Amino acid sequence: MSTLTVPETIPSVPEDCEQLRKAFADRDPLLFWKKCDVDLKMILVVLWTLDPAERDALLANEATKRWTSSNQVLVEIACTRSSHDLLLVRQAYHARYKKSLEEDVAYHTTGDFCKLLVPLVSSYRYEGDEVNMTLAKSEAKILHEKISEKAFNHEDIIRILATRSKAQINATLNHYKNQFGNDINKDLKTDPKDEFLAILRATVKCLNRPEKYFEKVLRLAINKHGTDEGALTRVVATRAEVDMKFIKDEYHRRSSVPLDRAIVKDTNGDYEDMLLALIGHGDA
């Protein structure tokens, strides 16, 4: 599924990149970037070069330190990585920050966000395909009841989303749609400005259709006035070797424009070249 089918197309990495990477391993990288005035391309190269668990630990740490209720990076890391990969992130977090990921999330987030995010980042979901259809029906009913009552922060909603396997959640959400008529995310959009609802929808999407989640992050980042390079860089660096092919397909379908063309329109220079190389320009 790698989009990096032709390594030769990657722009040559400056000689100081290895030095940068080493410095990066010893310090707070974002501080380092700021101090060094490195460019967007360099950030992308460094993020992409890092071991995935290290990279996620770093992104998660940034998200906790600068946490806002609109920040969905923790959900993204907790719900789109495999159970084993999330565990590696937690181990990398120990090694780098001398504390646990859930410790920082619990300390820096508040209220309903905390109630949802702590179990999400602490989860070690079962990854088998087995589905309990009776349970799927009963939990679809619970979800529908609580959502109808607008009890969006109800412990059962959080329990189901934070602990059930992805296969089980998929079955539950299919039953929800069959039985009650709507995608659950439609019912979770009663107030488009409610940020807790937004993070619940992101959770559902990350668990169930990660490529749709990432497509939307890219679309919003590119369509934003001035482009959200942070989101664009993060998604390209973290998904390049995972599911970028699917994300590109989804993007093309949803925006009627191929992702590479949208990137060419919105970015430039070395940064543009590197983004195109990482998304596998031309092999869509």
Q: Does residue 114 bind its own copies (CB under 8 A)?
A: yes
Shortest reach from residue 206's CB to its own copies, in Å: 18
Greatest alpha-carbon pair distance for the chain in Å reads 59
**R_g over Cα of the chain:** 19
x-or-dash string of contact with its own copies, 19-48, rule CB under 8 A: ------------------------------
Q: Does residue 102 bind its own copies (CB under 8 A)?
A: yes
Q: By CB under 8 A, which span of 17-25, 86-94, 180-188, 248-256 interacts with its own copies? A: 86-94
To the question of whether residue 279 is assigned a binding role by annotation, the answer is no
Q: Which of 16, 18, 39, 155 binds its own copies (CB under 8 A)?
A: 155
Q: What is the SS3 assignment for 180?
A: helix
* Euclidean distance between CA atoms 89 and 86, whole angstroms: 5
* Euclidean distance between CA atoms 175 and 181, whole angstroms: 10
Inter-residue contact 251 to 219 (CB < 8 Å): yes
Token duo for residue 259: 């992702």
Q: Does residue 164 bind its own copies (CB under 8 A)?
A: yes
Q: Would you say 122 or 227 has its CB closer to its own copies? A: 122
Q: Which of 18, 51, 127, 145 binds its own copies (CB under 8 A)?
A: 127
Inter-residue contact 271 to 39 (CB < 8 Å): yes
* Euclidean distance between CA atoms 26 and 22, whole angstroms: 7
To the question of whether residue 77 is assigned a binding role by annotation, the answer is no
Q: Does residue 245 bind its own copies (CB under 8 A)?
A: no
Q: Which of 28, 62, 85, 103 binds its own copies (CB under 8 A)?
A: 103
The residue count for binding its own copies (CB under 8 A) is 29
To the question of whether residue 41 is assigned a binding role by annotation, the answer is no
Q: Which of 87, 88, 264, 284 binds its own copies (CB under 8 A)?
A: 87
Q: Does residue 9 bind its own copies (CB under 8 A)?
A: no
Q: Would you say 8 or 26 has its CB closer to its own copies? A: 26
Q: Which of 163, 170, 174, 255 binds its own copies (CB under 8 A)?
A: 163
Would you mind telling me the total number of residues written for the chain in this entry?
Answer: 284
Q: Would you say 89 or 240 has its CB closer to its own copies? A: 89
Inter-residue contact 211 to 246 (CB < 8 Å): yes
Token duo for residue 173: 């959400």
* Euclidean distance between CA atoms 74 and 77, whole angstroms: 5
Provide the angle, in degrees to the nearest 10, between the axes of the packed helices 133-148 and 155-163. 140
Q: What is the SS3 assignment for 81?
A: coil
Q: Does residue 123 bind its own copies (CB under 8 A)?
A: yes
To the question of whether residue 266 is assigned a binding role by annotation, the answer is yes
To the question of whether residue 267 is assigned a binding role by annotation, the answer is yes
* Euclidean distance between CA atoms 64 and 74, whole angstroms: 8
Q: Which of 41, 55, 90, 146 binds its own copies (CB under 8 A)?
A: 90
* Euclidean distance between CA atoms 2 and 111, whole angstroms: 39
Q: Which residues bind its own copies (CB under 8 A)?
A: 87, 90-91, 94, 98-103, 106-107, 114, 118-119, 122-128, 130, 155, 159, 162-165
Known binding residues = 222, 224, 226, 264, 266-267, 272
